[in-house]
Amino acid sequence: MRILMVSPEYPPISGGVGRYTSNLVNSLRKLDCEVLVLSDEKGNGDYKGISPTNADNSNIILKVVDDVKPDIVHIQFEPGLYGLISSRLNPSNSKTYLDSFYYKCKIPIITTFHSGYTFKEWMYQALYIKKSGRAGVLGIPARTIVMMWYRLLSYRSFMELNREKLKRSQAGICFSYYMSRLLGGGHIIYHGAEPAIMNVPDKKEARKEFSLPIEKKIAVVIGFQTVTKGWDLLNKVKMPEDWIMVINSTKGDYNKENIDKNFNRYKDKDKDDIVDLKRGYLDDRELSLLLCASDAVLLPYKITSGSGVMFDALAHGLPFISSDLEFFKEFANMELGITSKRDPKSFSNAIAKIGSDYEKYNTAVTSFKQKLKWNYIANQHIQLYNSKRQKITR
């Protein structure tokens, strides 16, 4: 079977979509699938040229389809990666540089959806832009008021971008039932994840790599230090006595969201419960080692469609402590972690609870992580490809 995998973000470009796509491609190839990748010029795809700024994305993909003649075209769909455009004059008419491809392609399309928001989360994003500009009503900067009005008018249009792609695909893939409900359909195939090192070290050995203390439990925070990831809360969380917090932030190539500059507590020399690794982007081996060195992962997000970091942590046997967003609640209901009100005291109490009931959560995570192994995930994709490869309904 020949598959054309489409993702502008692809290694060495940093970012969760690219890392996920690369792991999926490698796993499919191990199962004797012929997979060709179309990526941004900066990525290591077999074909290149698509990007968030290229208005010709659809035609580029169609040309590669004509050259490759795949059985399946698999799109990794995150609207911003293909050029999300919303007119300031008509925000109810959102589009991307990928839209016409879905109408013209004659090959079966499978689409994996990487983002989708409830109306509440969509509106909250307007509050997380930089608070600059002249103050207006109730002291709120005029720019924020304009952004809230703009998002109010654009939400339905944004969600329709996803739903239209689902309608014109032979199948959609979602990482959670939460996302499937938002879109109105889609097959549930979890975000694959597993250790990237052959011989998984014990915690003591893994901690030597990062010069981390042996005697305390570690709650790790990794990823983009952007406003919606909620790192501002970490300033105020009082770690239980037998825990420390270890952080490592990454800057994404495509992520233009504001950097959260409020996380300054770890710079205080008198504080010893937070360790900042300052390593930037971690390759797969380094990420695996850091997760092997840890006991839980903290996810204080303000908004999320999903979390590759959560799946990575679960694959390494770590339960999570997260803010009480709908996506996380789905997995907390499986006893894979705890959701908490997004305030310092609640997070501190949740960390302590994970510690006191660690065996219970560890047992649930150990069972669940078998469903995340890449071989299992790749086989689920192949089954879906085979069931849809001859069916064109557009």
DSSP 226-282: BGGGTGGGGGT----TTEEEEEEEE--SS--SPB-----GGG-TT--SEEE----S-
Pairing of strands 109-113, 72-77: parallel
* Token pair listed for 361: 């959560």
| 8 A C-beta contact, residue 4 and residue 21 | no
pLDDT computed for residue 135 by the predictor: 43
Does the pLDDT at position 143 exceed 80?
A: no
| 8 A C-beta contact, residue 190 and residue 311 | yes
pLDDT computed for residue 131 by the predictor: 47
Domains of the chain: 2-192+374-388 (3.40.50.2000), 203-372 (3.40.50.2000)
* Token pair listed for 233: 């809360």
Query: Which strands, in side-by-side order, build the sheet including 320-323?
Result: 274-276, 243-250, 217-224, 296-299, 320-323, 337-340
DSSP for residue 201: P
Does the pLDDT at position 261 exceed 60?
A: no
Does the pLDDT at position 151 exceed 80?
A: no
Pairing of strands 72-77, 187-188: unpaired
At residue 390 the predicted structure's pLDDT band, cuts being 50, 70 and 90, is confident
Q: Which residues pair with 73 in a beta bridge?
A: 4, 109
Give the range among 44-58, 63-77, 128-142, 331-345 with minimum mean pLDDT.
128-142
Place of tokens 């109730």: 138
DSSP for residue 297: E
For the chain, report the end-to-end CA distance as a whole number of angstroms: 22
Does the pLDDT at position 216 exceed 90?
A: yes
User: Looking at residues 129-139, what average pLDDT do you find?
Assistant: 47
Does the pLDDT at position 271 exceed 90?
A: no
pLDDT computed for residue 158 by the predictor: 82
